[in-house]
Amino acid sequence: MNGEDDQQRAVDRDSLHILPLGDLPMETPGLASARLIKNSRLQGVIEVFSDTYAGSGQLNVESLPAEFGWNPDNPPKEYAMLRRLWRLPSYDVYSLRVSLREQGVEVNTVDALKLSEN
């Protein structure tokens, strides 16, 4: 990872409206590089790409089973977690730690759930 990537990860980690999914327990490879964000309407959505010129590719959390071909009767564990997280009013580290702990995620071992030095 280069310095620019490290800087962006620190900004994302400290943000109230961005949650990088790569550091959470994701089984679906397509979600590992995505982010859960609050969009301009303050709705929680999965951002699969963001580009200065092309804009942002966003998916509604409820549409993930269709997008990834998940069995609706037996979706992966991350779907339940994302359905709970996208409704949070903020993605600050404190709210996330409480919510993830309630879902059985070990938060003390996830670096993304700690504030950056800055």
Instruction: Give tens-digit pLDDT for 78-93.
Output: 998 899 888 888 887 7
Q: Write down the domain spans for the chain.
A: 3-113
Q: How many helices (H) and strands (E) does the chain have?
A: 5, 4
Tell me the whole-structure pTM to 2 decimals. 0.72
Rounded Cα distance between 57 and 47, Å, is: 6
Amino acid at 33: S
- Rounded to 5 degrees, what are φ and ψ at 98? -65, -50
Task: Please state the rounded mean pLDDT for residues 56-68.
Answer: 93
pLDDT for 67 equals 93
pLDDT for 3 equals 60
pLDDT for 116 equals 63
Q: pLDDT band at 11, cuts 50/70/90?
A: low
Rounded Cα distance between 58 and 114, Å, is: 26
Rounded Cα distance between 98 and 76, Å, is: 21
Exposure string over 60-88, b if 16+ CB within 10 A, otherwise e: ebeebeeeeeeeeeebbebbebbeebbeb
pLDDT higher than 60, residue 10: no
pLDDT higher than 90, residue 59: yes
Task: Please state the rounded mean pLDDT for residues 37-58.
Answer: 89
Q: Please, what is the angle between helix 93-102 and helix 77-85, to 10°? A: 140
pLDDT higher than 80, residue 25: yes
Q: pLDDT band at 97, cuts 50/70/90?
A: confident
